Amino acid sequence: MYKEEFMRKAIRLSIDNAKKGGGPFGAVIVKNGKIIAEGVNRVTSKNDPTAHAEVEVIRNASKKLKNFSLKGCELYTSCEPCPMCLSAVYWSNLDRIYFGNTKKDAAKIGFRDDFIYHELSRPILKRKLKITQHLRDEALTAFEVWDLNDRKKEY
């Protein structure tokens, strides 16, 4: 259930991070009506292009809960998640996303979220990044081994 206090916390985190020179993004994860984790964009401070606020908060929440699944949790984020972060949300099984700024707002200040969304909608051979497939038959061996492993932990 949406609560303004959680969205305001994510926004405050984004403003504070921007004042310190970090990316203007903040996020919190809520479970049972309580914030269990916070995250801000740490791309430049960590020299890690994946250290977006949403990825950071997912990592923090998973560590705290000692579980890769965040089922039963909700994400409050200061901006509509980029494609990478949205994928991380799906992989982490979060129940819901609440966001403030849009990807169009992010584009206006120089962030490429909208470009990446557009690229993902294009066929692989029409994307700007050159992508080619090789050694599929060999690569499938890992999938076959995993599929037949009775000790696997599905996610």
> Distance between CA atoms of 79 and 84, rounded to whole angstroms?
13
Give the ranges where 33-123 is alpha helix by DSSP (H): 43-46, 53-65, 83-92, 103-108, 113-121
Structure tokens that stand for 75 in this block = 């994400």
Catalytic: which of 54, 56, 74, 80? 54
> Distance between CA atoms of 85 and 106, rounded to whole angstroms?
14
> Distance between CA atoms of 68 and 76, rounded to whole angstroms?
18
Angle between helices 83-92 and 113-121 (to 10 degrees): 70
Structure tokens that stand for 51 in this block = 């250290």
Q: Is 54 a catalytic residue?
A: yes
The answer to whether the CB of 116 falls within 8 A of the CB of 128 is: no
Residues marked as catalytic: 54
